[in-house]
């Protein structure tokens, strides 16, 4: 299979190799997992006793945390937009092949739901920055 054929197949939402459907379904949970690991690592690095100031490369580590939050949220939103676009194209092709249509429709709906759920989890994970002082210890 040549590259243009593979690109066309990955762009077709009815194809089992659809990039939009696979990214929107599996991307958000993987992004959320990476967000959790990187966020914990960032706080371990920024709050460690070896740092005199709470900075990483001259910028406060809360800045880096917001870069992480916004980057993860943007990647999850892209998954939701891809799923919504695929879902709209799938609805127009309803009568073609019921098996392909059912699989693609289910993946598109799951991708939209996955993006919504993991987007909320990422936003919920950003709340402690507003409510708690970073690097504070328990009394």
Give residue 3's pLDDT band: very low, low, confident or very high (50, 70, 90).
Answer: low
Domain enclosing residue 98, as ranges: 20-131
Q: How many residues does the chain have?
A: 139
Q: What is the pTM of this model?
A: 0.81
Q: Is residue 40 part of a domain?
A: yes
Q: Is residue 12 part of a domain?
A: no
Q: Is residue 6 part of a domain?
A: no
4-28 pLDDT, tens digit per residue, is: 665 555 556 666 668 888 899 999 9
How many structural domains does the chain have?
A: 1
87-139 pLDDT, tens digit per residue, is: 888 887 766 677 777 888 888 999 999 999 999 999 998 888 778 777 766 66
For 46-62, what is the mean pLDDT? 74
Q: Is residue 7 part of a domain?
A: no
Q: Is residue 8 part of a domain?
A: no
Q: Is residue 29 part of a domain?
A: yes
Predicted pLDDT of residue 120: 96
Give the tokens for residue 113. 């739901």
Measured CA to CA, the distance from residue 29 to residue 35 in angstroms comes to 10
CA triple 24-104-35, angle to 5 deg = 15
Give the tokens for residue 64. 């880096």
Q: Is residue 10 part of a domain?
A: no
Q: Is residue 30 part of a domain?
A: yes
Predicted pLDDT of residue 60: 79
Check residues 25 and 51 and name the one with the higher pLDDT.
25
Give residue 59's pLDDT band: very low, low, confident or very high (50, 70, 90).
Answer: confident
């Amino acid at each position: 299979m040549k590259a243009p054929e593979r690109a066309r197949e990955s762009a077709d939402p009815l194809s089992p190799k659809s990039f939009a459907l696979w990214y929107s379904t599996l991307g958000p949970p993987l992004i959320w997992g990476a967000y959790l690991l990187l966020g914990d690592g960032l706080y371990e690095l920024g709050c460690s006793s070896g740092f005199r100031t709470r900075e990483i490369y001259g910028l406060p580590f809360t800045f880096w945390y917001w870069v992480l939050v916004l980057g993860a949220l943007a990647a999850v939103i892209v998954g939701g937009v891809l799923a919504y676009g695929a879902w709209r194209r799938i609805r127009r092709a309803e009568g073609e092949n019921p098996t392909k249509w059912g699989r693609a429709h289910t993946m598109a709906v799951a991708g939209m739901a996955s993006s919504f759920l993991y987007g909320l989890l990422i936003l919920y994970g950003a709340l402690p920055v507003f409510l708690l002082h970073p690097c504070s210890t328990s009394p």
